[in-house]
Amino acid sequence: MENKQSTFPTNHVVGFFLSIAMTVLAAIIALRTNLSGNVIMWIIGTLAIFQAGVQLFMFMHINEGKDGKTNYINIIYSVFMALIIVFGSIWVLTTGHAAH
């Protein structure tokens, strides 16, 4: 007979409510404050990064598995590649390299 443990997914519920809270907070800051556009964008960007971290740990279980280092290395590499693509594209398009 299999021994099934039916536990309530507390991490998922906490992660869900944290994600909802950060989304609502970003909407309130964007719609209800008189801050400048740059400040609002920085706050929303910061909340988005925190929300991505919450989702990685709470939903995607990034710290579980045989070798936790592999997951972290893959994420760091993915972020590095995304930054190279985004900032490389901005650099090429703003410095006139596309005009040749």
pTM beyond 0.75, yes or no: no
Q: What is the mean pLDDT of each run of 10 residues along the chain (100 residues)?
A: 68 91 95 93 93 85 71 86 94 75
pLDDT at 25: 95
pLDDT at 19: 93
pLDDT at 46: 94
CA 51 and chain centroid, separation: 5
pLDDT at 82: 93
